[in-house]
C-alpha cells in the first residue's frame, strides 16, 4: 500500500471505530438525563406523599442516591469525548502547534492512566462489596445497581478520552452526528 | 508536609499544561498516596474514595440547580429580566450597564452558576449595549462581573459544594450569601458609575413612564414566582435544599413550556447540557477526594494548625494571607477547583482559629468571585470572549479593574462587619 493510501486508510478506520463509541457515549448521556428526571420525580413524589398523606416515601434516599450516581457517571464518557472538562489554556495557547499536539497526547495519556486506575481499583472494591452482600440501607437494593453505572461510566470514558485525542473535541462530536 | 507542598506544585504545573483539573488532582493524589502510604493503601483509597465522593443523596442538589439554570436560560427568562431592569435603570448614565448588573443579580437568584449567568445575560445585554454605543470595555466588564453574582446570591453551586465538603448547612450558607450578594450588586453599580465618570460615557436612554415600567414587571412575574417558590419554600421549612432544587428545576422546565420554547430538541439539549455540567463538577469532586486523601495522609493540616498556634497568629492575619493565596490561585484556575483543591487543608485551620464556618464560606466564595474576573484566567472573561463575536480578552480585562476593586471593598466590609453574612442565617435558623 502506498504511503498516501495508508495515511487515508488510518483516519477512515479511526472514523469507523469512533462512530459506535461516540454513539454509545451519547446514549449513555441520555441515560444520565433519564436518571436525573427519575431523581427529580422521586423527590417530587416524596414532597407530595409527605404533604398529602403525612408519610414520607419509603427509601427516597436510596433512590435519589442511585439517580445521583447514574446522572453523573453515565455522563462521564460524553464529557471525555467532547473534552468538556475544566482546563486552563492560557499557557499552552502560546505554544507552537506541534508542541500543543504533543501536550494533548500527554493529557490523553494522563486521563487514560487515571481512569484505568479508577476502573481497576473500583472493580476490586465492587467485588469485595458484592462478596459481603452489601445492599442499600432502606430498600435493600443490590449494591451492583449503584456500582455498575460508576464502573460503566469510567470504563467507557477510556475509549472516549482516546477518541477526543484522535479527532479533537469538535471533530469527535461531528463524527458522531455524521 | 514537604510531600504536600510538592503535590500542590505538581497539580498547578499539570493544570498549566492543560491537564483537566480533575485529572491533575486525581493523578497527583494517587501518586502521592502511593509515595506516602504504599500501594496497598493506594488501592483501598482509589477503590473507595471516588465512589463515596459522589454516591451521596445530598449531591442531588447540584444537577437539579444546574438544570434550573439551564432551562431558565433556554426558556427566555433572561431577556424579560433584562428588559425589566432596563426599564428602571436605562435612563441613568451608564444605565444599560446598571441594568446588566441588576438583571444578573435577578438571574443569579434562579441560576447557581457564575458562568451560566454571564453567558446568558451576555447574550441579551451585549448586543443592546453595543447598539447604544457603549464601549466594549464597560459593556463586557459589567456582564463578566454581574455574572459572579450568580454564585453569591442563592442558589449557588459553590455554596452547595462548600457545604457538602465541610458538613455545613446549605440552607444557612444560602441565607448567608444573600446580603453580601446584594451588597456586591450595589458595589458593581458604583463601579459602573466610576467607569462612566472616567470617560466611558454611555448613552442615556429616555426615561420610561411608571406605567411602562410596571408593564415590564408584569412580564417577569413567572420568574419572580419561581424564585419565591424556591427561596421562601426553603426558608419557611417547606422544602429541604434538595427539594427546593427539584421544585426549581421542574418550575423552570414548566416555564420553558409555558413560554412555548420547549421543543423536543430543547428538552434533549437542555438535559444533555445539564448532565455534562454535572459530570464536569463530579469529576472534580472525585479528583479532589483523591487529592485530599493524600493531603490528609501527609498531615499538612495538623502541622499548619500547630504552626499557627505556635506563632500566636491573629486570625485576621491568617485570613488576609488566605485571601492573598486565593486571589493568586484565582488567577490560575477556576473557582470550584480552587476551593476543592485547598479546602481539605484550609478548613481545619479555620475551625482551629474559631472562625465561623458559615461566614468563612461567604468570604471564600467572594474570593472565588474575584478569581472569576481576574485576568489572565478569569473564567467569566473567557466565557464572554467565546460567546460575544469580536471581543478580545484584552478589552474585557481592561474594563474589569473597577469591578475587581468593588469586590475588594466588599471583602473589607465582610471582614469589618461579619454580621453581614451571619445575621440572616442566625435569624432564620437560630
Contact partners, residue B109, CB within 8 Å, separation at least 6: B153, B154, B155, B227, B231
Is the pLDDT higher at B205 or at B190? Answer: B190
Do residue B276 and residue A124 have CB atoms under 8 angstroms apart?
no
Q: Are B321 and B283 in contact (CB under 8 A)?
A: no
pLDDT > 90 fraction of chain A, expressed in percent and rounded: 41
Residue with cell 434562579: B110
Convert the pLDDT of each residue in B85-123 to its tens digit.
888 888 888 888 999 999 888 888 777 777 778 888 888
Q: Which residue has the cell 460503566?
A: A152
pLDDT at A3: 41
**Chain A contact for B380 (CB, 8 A cutoff):** no
Average pLDDT along chain B: 85
φ, ψ for residue A142 (rounded to 5)?
-60, 140
Q: Is A36 exposed, middle or buried (0-12, 13-18, 19+ CB in 10 A)?
A: buried
| Residue B243 touches partner A, C-beta closer than 8 Å | yes
Which string of DSSP letters, residue by residue, matches B340-388? Answer: HHHHHHHHHHHHHTT--HHHHHHHHHHHHHHHHTSSSS-HHHHHHHHHS
- Decide if B278 and A71 are in contact by the 8 Å CB cutoff: yes
Whether the CB of A39 is below 8 Å from some CB of chain B: the reply is yes
Residue A167 binned pLDDT confidence (cut-offs 50, 70, 90): low
pLDDT of residue A164 exceeding 80: no
pLDDT for the residue numbered B41: 83
Q: In percent, how much of chain B has pLDDT > 70?
A: 97
Is B190's pLDDT higher than 90?
Answer: yes
Q: If you measure CA to CA, which chain B residue comes closest to A127?
A: B47
Whether residue A9 has pLDDT greater than 70: no
Of A40, A73, A78, Cβ closest to residue B246: A40
User: Residue A5: its pLDDT value, please?
Assistant: 46
- Average pLDDT estimate for B298-303: 77
Confidence check: pLDDT of A173 > 50? no
Q: Using CA atoms, how far apart are residues A124 and B47, in angstroms rounded to an integer? A: 7
Is there a contact between A92 and B18 if contact means CB atoms under 8 Å apart?
yes
Q: Tell if the CB–CB gap between A29 and B272 is shorter than 8 Å.
A: yes
* Residue B222 scores a pLDDT above 90: no
For chain A, give the mean pLDDT: 81
Are A84 and B279 a contacting pair at CB < 8 A?
yes
Window 169-198 of B: residues touching A by CB (8 A cutoff) are: none
The predicted model gives B36-45 an average pLDDT of: 85
Q: Which residues pair with A114 in a beta bridge?
A: none
Grid cell locating B403: 469591578
Least confident among A5-14, A15-24, A125-134, A148-157: A5-14
Q: Supply the pLDDT for residue B331.
A: 72
CA atoms within 13 A on the CB side of B323: 18
Contact (Cβ atoms closer than 8 angstroms) between residue B127 and residue B389: no
Q: How far apart are the first and last CA of chain B?
A: 39
The answer to whether the Cβ–Cβ distance between A40 and B275 falls below 8 Å is no
B316 has pLDDT over 70: yes
Q: Specify which residues A135 forms β-bridges with.
A: A142
Kind and range of the H or E run holding B132: none
User: Which phi and psi angles does A135 have, rounded to 5°?
Assistant: -135, 165
B179, B297, B352, B408, B411 from B420: Cα distances, Å: 6, 37, 22, 15, 11
Which pLDDT belongs to residue B286? 92
Q: Does residue A2 have a pLDDT over 60?
A: no
Of B173 and A99, the one with more pLDDT: B173
- Region A29-41: mean pLDDT is 95
What pLDDT score was predicted for residue A169? 43
- Residue A175 pLDDT greater than 70, yes or no: no
Please state the ipTM of this predicted complex. Answer: 0.85
Q: Does A57 touch chain B (CB under 8 A)?
A: no
Among chain A residues, the shortest Cα distance to B250 is held by: A40
Q: What percent of chain B has pLDDT over 90?
A: 24
B211 touches A at CB < 8 Å? no
The alpha helices in B262-354, defined as continuous H runs, are 264-298, 300-311, 315-330, 335-352
Interhelix angle B264-298/B39-54, rounded to 10 degrees, is: 140
Closest-CA distance, A17 to chain B, in angstroms, reads: 23
Residue B297 has pLDDT above 50, yes or no: yes
Most confident of A7-16, B178-187, B252-261, B288-297: B178-187
Q: What pLDDT score does A178 carry?
A: 28
**Count of beta carbons in the 10 Å neighbourhood of residue A175:** 21
Helices B419-429, B170-197: axis angle to 10 degrees equals: 140
Of residues B255 and A11, more confidently modeled: B255
Contact residues for B312 (Cβ-Cβ < 8 A; gap 6+) = none
Q: What pLDDT digit, counting tens, does each position of B371-403 carry?
A: 888 876 677 887 777 667 777 777 778 888 899
Q: Is residue B416 pLDDT above 90, yes or no?
A: yes
Question: For residue B77, what pLDDT is reported?
Answer: 80
Amino acid at each position: 500500500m502506498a504511503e498516501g493510501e495508508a495515511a487515508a486508510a488510518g483516519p477512515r478506520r479511526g472514523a469507523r471505530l469512533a462512530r459506535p463509541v461516540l454513539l454509545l457515549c451519547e446514549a449513555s448521556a441520555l441515560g444520565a438525563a433519564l436518571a436525573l428526571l427519575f431523581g427529580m420525580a422521586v423527590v417530587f413524589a416524596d414532597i407530595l406523599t409527605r404533604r398529602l398523606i403525612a408519610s414520607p416515601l419509603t427509601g427516597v434516599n436510596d433512590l435519589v442516591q442511585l439517580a445521583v450516581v447514574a446522572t453523573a457517571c453515565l455522563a462521564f464518557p460524553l464529557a471525555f469525548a467532547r473534552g468538556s472538562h475544566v482546563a486552563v489554556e492560557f499557557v499552552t495557547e502560546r505554544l507552537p502547534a506541534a508542541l500543543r499536539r504533543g501536550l494533548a497526547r500527554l493529557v490523553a495519556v494522563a486521563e487514560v492512566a487515571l481512569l484505568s486506575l479508577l476502573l481497576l481499583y473500583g472493580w476490586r472494591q465492587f467485588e469485595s462489596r458484592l462478596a459481603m452482600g452489601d445492599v442499600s440501607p432502606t430498600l435493600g437494593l443490590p449494591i451492583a445497581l449503584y456500582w455498575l453505572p460508576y464502573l460503566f461510566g469510567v470504563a467507557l470514558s477510556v475509549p472516549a478520552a482516546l477518541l477526543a485525542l484522535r479527532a479533537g473535541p469538535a471533530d469527535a462530536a461531528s463524527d458522531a452526528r455524521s | 508536609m514537604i510531600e504536600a507542598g510538592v503535590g500542590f506544585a505538581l497539580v498547578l504545573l499539570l493544570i498549566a499544561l492543560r491537564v483537566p483539573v480533575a485529572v491533575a488532582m486525581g493523578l497527583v493524589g494517587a501518586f502521592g498516596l502511593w509515595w506516602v502510604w504504599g500501594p496497598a493503601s493506594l488501592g483501598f483509597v482509589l477503590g473507595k474514595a471516588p465512589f463515596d465522593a459522589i454516591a451521596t443523596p445530598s449531591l442531588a442538589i447540584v444537577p437539579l440547580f444546574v438544570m434550573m439554570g439551564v432551562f431558565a436560560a433556554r426558556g427566555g427568562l433572561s431577556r424579560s429580566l433584562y428588559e425589566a431592569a432596563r426599564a428602571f435603570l436605562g435612563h441613568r448614565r451608564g444605565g444599560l450597564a446598571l441594568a446588566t448588573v441588576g438583571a444578573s443579580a435577578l438571574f443569579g437568584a434562579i441560576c447557581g452558576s457564575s458562568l451560566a449567568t454571564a453567558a446568558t445575560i451576555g447574550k441579551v445585554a451585549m448586543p443592546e449595549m453595543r447598539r447604544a454605543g457603549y464601549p466594549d470595555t464597560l459593556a463586557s466588564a459589567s456582564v463578566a462581573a454581574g455574572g459572579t453574582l450568580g454564585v453569591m446570591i442563592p442558589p449557588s453551586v459553590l455554596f452547595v459544594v462548600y457545604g457538602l465538603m465541610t458538613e455545613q448547612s446549605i440552607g444557612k450558607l444560602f441565607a448567608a450569601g444573600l446580603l453580601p450578594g446584594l451588597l456586591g450588586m450595589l458595589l458593581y453599580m458604583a463601579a459602573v458609575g466610576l467607569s462612566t465618570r472616567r470617560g466611558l460615557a454611555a448613552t442615556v436612554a429616555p426615561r420610561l413612564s411608571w406605567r411602562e415600567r410596571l408593564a415590564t414587571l408584569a412580564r417577569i412575574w413567572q420568574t419572580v414566582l419561581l424564585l419565591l417558590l424556591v427561596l421562601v419554600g426553603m426558608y419557611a421549612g417547606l422544602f429541604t435544599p434538595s427539594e427546593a432544587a427539584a421544585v426549581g428545576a421542574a418550575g423552570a422546565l414548566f416555564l420553558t413550556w409555558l413560554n412555548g420554547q420547549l421543543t423536543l430538541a430543547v428538552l434533549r439539549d437542555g438535559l444533555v447540557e445539564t448532565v455534562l455540567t454535572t459530570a464536569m463538577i463530579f469529576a472534580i469532586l472525585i479528583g479532589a477526594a483523591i487529592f485530599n486523601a493524600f493531603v490528609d495522609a501527609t498531615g499538612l493540616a495538623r502541622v499548619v494548625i500547630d504552626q499557627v498556634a505556635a506563632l500566636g497568629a491573629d486570625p485576621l492575619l491568617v485570613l488576609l494571607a488566605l485571601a492573598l493565596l486565593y486571589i493568586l490561585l484565582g488567577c490560575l484556575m477556576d473557582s470550584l477547583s480552587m476551593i476543592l483543591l485547598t479546602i481539605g487543608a484550609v478548613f481545619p485551620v479555620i475551625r482551629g482559629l474559631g472562625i465561623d464556618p458559615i461566614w468563612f464560606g461567604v468570604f471564600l466564595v467572594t474570593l472565588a468571585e474575584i478569581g472569576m474576573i481576574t485576568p489572565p484566567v478569569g473564567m467569566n472573561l473567557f466565557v464572554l470572549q467565546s460567546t460575544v463575536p469580536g471581543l478580545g480578552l484584552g478589552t474585557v480585562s481592561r474594563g474589569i479593574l473597577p469591578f475587581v476593586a468593588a469586590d475588594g471593598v466588599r471583602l473589607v466590609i465582610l471582614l469589618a462587619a461579619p454580621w453581614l453574612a451571619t445575621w440572616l442565617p442566625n435569624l432564620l435558623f437560630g
